[in-house]
C-alpha cells in the first residue's frame, strides 16, 4: 500500500480464535473483548507490519451468554482496508458442537465494528523529542 492518503479498499483478511468456556462458568465480556483486540492486532500486523492503534468500537452488541462446556468462535474481519485505517467487523458465535466444522457457526454471542489505525512514526510513541 503506497500513497499519501486513504486510497480505497485493498485486501481483506479474517483472523479467528476459539475460546473454551469451562463447565460451570460463562464466557465474560472481557474475555471476548481481549480476544478481539488480539485478533485486531494480528490483522494490523498482517496488513502493515505493526499492531496499530484501536480508538474504539463504532457499535457493540451482546446477544446471549455462552455457558460452561461450550466453545465460542471469535473473529475479526478487516472489512475495509485503507492505507491509514482499517474497518474491522467483530463476531463471537457459539460453536454448535465441539466436533463440528468451525465454519458452521451457532447463535451469535456478540458483534461489533471498529477502526484500527495505522501509526507511521520513526520514533517510539512516548518520545516527545523530534
Provide the domain limits for residue 107. 14-117
For residue 81 the three cell numbers come to 482496508
Domain tally, the chain = 1
CB 62 within 8 A of CB 91: no
**Each residue of 110-125: pLDDT tens digit?**
999 999 999 875 545 4
Cα–Cα distance measured from residue 27 to residue 69, given in angstroms and rounded to the nearest whole number: 10
pTM of the model: 0.77
CATH number, position 89: 3.10.129.10
> Residue 9: which residues within 8 A CB-CB, separation 6 or more?
80, 81, 82
List of long-range contacts for 22-25, beta carbons under 8 Å, 24+ apart: 22/68, 22/69, 23/68, 23/69, 24/68, 25/67, 25/68
Nearest CA to 80 out of 130, 118, 108 is that of: 118
In a domain, 65, yes or no: yes
Rg over CA atoms, the chain: 17
pLDDT digits (tens, 9 = 90+) for 63-105: 977 777 788 999 999 999 998 999 999 999 988 765 555 555 6
42 occurs within a structural domain: yes
In contact, 77 and 30? CB cutoff 8 Å: no
Amino acid at each position: 500500500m503506497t500513497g499519501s492518503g486513504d486510497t480505497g479498499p485493498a485486501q481483506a483478511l479474517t483472523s479467528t480464535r476459539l475460546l473454551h468456556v469451562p463447565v460451570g462458568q460463562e464466557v465474560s465480556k472481557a474475555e471476548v473483548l481481549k480476544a478481539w483486540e488480539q485478533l485486531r492486532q494480528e490483522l494490523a500486523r498482517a496488513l502493515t507490519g505493526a499492531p496499530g492503534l484501536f480508538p474504539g468500537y463504532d457499535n457493540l452488541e451482546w446477544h446471549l451468554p455462552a455457558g460452561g462446556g461450550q466453545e465460542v468462535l471469535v473473529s475479526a474481519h478487516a472489512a475495509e482496508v485503507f492505507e491509514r485505517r482499517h474497518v474491522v467487523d467483530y463476531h463471537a458465535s457459539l460453536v454448535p458442537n465441539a466436533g463440528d466444522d468451525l465454519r458452521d457457526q451457532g447463535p451469535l454471542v456478540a458483534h461489533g465494528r471498529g477502526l484500527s489505525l495505522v501509526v507511521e512514526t520513526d520514533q517510539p510513541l512516548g518520545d516527545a523529542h523530534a
